[in-house]
Amino acid sequence: MQAYQWGIFAIALGTFGIGTTEFMPMGLLPVIADGVHASIPAAGLLISAYAVGVMIGAPLITLYLTRYSHKTSLLVLMVVFVIGNVLSAISVNYETFLISRIITSLSHGAFFGIGAVVAMNLAPFHKKGSAVASIFLGLTIANIVGVPITTWLGQTFDWRISFAVTAVLGIVAFLGISRNLPAMPRAEKPDVKSELKAIMQPAALRAFATTVMCAGSMFTLYTYITPIMQTLAQASDNAIATMLMLVGIGFTLGNYISGKVTDKSPDLALIVFLGLQVIVLLMFRFTSTTLIGAGLTTLLWGVVIFGSGPPLQMQVMKIADQAPGLASSINIGAFNLGNALGAALGGLVISIGFSFDWIPAVAGGLSFLALIMVILNRHNTINAQLLNGEVQKK
């Protein structure tokens, strides 16, 4: 690998750990609920609490860390990550587990936001889309390796062991960043007023809203993937662990393909992947009634749902180019707001009396809203560019 790729790989080690601890509870939801003496919808709200922590913490912590170099910031965030997961591993009730998840969540958004900026700065111009996709690669590999293994550990032994393992992943990531990421100068003090103006422009707000809808679609389904598969395909614990691995493979394929398409056109990548999400989610309940069908459907869903990640991140960093770090972190926060809303929406669908097999269709509706948002945003951007050109001519 080239020198800049080693630095990106080091950051991806961190996103691997973060991805494992974020997605692992989906496969362990029933045993976690039992372990902290809560219902499944209440346990789903723990996932929402993590997401809210990311959403609130991402911009605040990113602004605070601007006084340090990017490398130092990433190392500090990994320390917070380790502390949060150790606390999860020793939690004895719902309240302590909730606190531990909020602490862990504080490392999430800022790490992705700062990591994406570092990756773009390290990569050559024609590889910036692929560089951002590489940061998400750790997240996708976590779903192939980290999440299935920790899910198996939690189901076979104790769910607390799974969080202890993720704490160890954080330590490995800390060492990887410390050794492989090049030294970086301390960033200049940001113009907070200018950065806030950049992220509050209408195009940026529309882009953040698109991320919320897309992530909402993802987590409406993913939060309840275990009971959905138990309902639709009568899947066993081992079958569910295999399906989670297939989802992770799908994430990786979607991330790779999306990185290549995003290098050419972020707008095209978004429209294609969101359109495919709508189709796959509407088909989901009909194609997942057997184990083979469920496996293939979850694989395909993983491809199309994660393909929208890199272009969404590139879009906000391009629009808010005066505040790329803050915009990137806020976009991760928007993703986790969608996470929280999705988990809550799935719980609401169940609570009002619908069965688990209705959840994919609800998720498809959110993907459709995200697609509409992208089309509207693109239309407004083109109109603004035309108007700009006419003004310049005059």
CATH code: domain of residue 25: 1.20.1250.20
| The pLDDT of residue 334 | 85
Q: Which distant-in-sequence residues (6+ apart) come within 8 Å of 179 by Cβ?
A: 10
- Reading the block at residue 287, the tokens are 């194609």
How many domains are there within the chain?
2
Q: What is the pLDDT along the chain (394 residues), one digit of tens a residue?
A: 566 677 788 888 899 999 899 888 877 888 888 888 888 778 878 877 887 888 888 888 888 887 888 889 999 999 999 999 999 999 888 989 999 999 999 998 889 888 888 887 777 766 776 777 777 778 778 877 888 889 889 988 889 999 999 999 999 889 888 888 877 766 566 666 777 777 888 888 888 899 999 999 998 998 888 889 988 998 888 888 888 888 888 988 888 888 888 877 878 888 999 999 999 999 998 999 899 999 999 999 999 998 888 888 778 877 777 777 778 778 877 887 887 788 889 989 988 888 888 999 999 999 999 999 888 877 776 665 565 555 455 4
Q: Name the residue among 316, 334, 332, 335 with its Cα closest to residue 324.
A: 316
Q: Which residue has the tokens 């066993």?
A: 236
Is the domain of 64 the same as that of 148?
Answer: yes
Do 129 and 249 fall within a single domain?
Answer: no
Same domain, 141 and 22: yes
One domain for residues 213 and 144: no
Domain containing residue 76: 1-184
Chain position carrying tokens 């879009």: 315
CB within 8 A of 161, min separation 6: which ones? Answer: 89, 153, 154
Q: Within this chain, do residues 89 and 179 fall inside the same structural domain, yes or no?
A: yes
User: What is the amino acid identity at position 202?
Assistant: P
CA 36 to chain centre: 25
pTM of structure: 0.72
CA 246 to chain centre: 17
With a CB cutoff of 8 Å and minimum separation 6, the contacts of 174 are 75, 78, 79, 82
Instruction: Tell me: do 49 and 158 sit in the same domain.
Output: yes
* 19 and 147 Cβ atoms separated by less than 8 Å: yes
**Residues 168 and 195 placed together within one structural domain of the fold:** no
Residues 180 and 203 in one domain: no
Boundary-marking domain end, from 184, 208, 240:
184
Q: Are 134 and 258 members of one domain?
A: no
Task: Look at the block and give the residue holding tokens 């502390």.
Answer: 83
CB atoms within 10 A of CB 238: 11
Out of 129, 159, 184, a domain closes at 184
Q: Beta strands of the chain (E only): which ranges?
A: none
Comparing CA positions, the residue from 132, 165, 178 lying closest to residue 312 is 132
Task: Verify that 221 and 323 share a domain, yes or no.
Answer: yes
User: Do both 196 and 156 map to the same domain?
Assistant: no
Distance CA 202, CA 200 (A): 6
249 & 271 share domain: yes
Select from 165, 184, 203 the last residue of a domain. Answer: 184
Q: What's the CA gap between 151 and 163, in Å, rounded?
A: 10
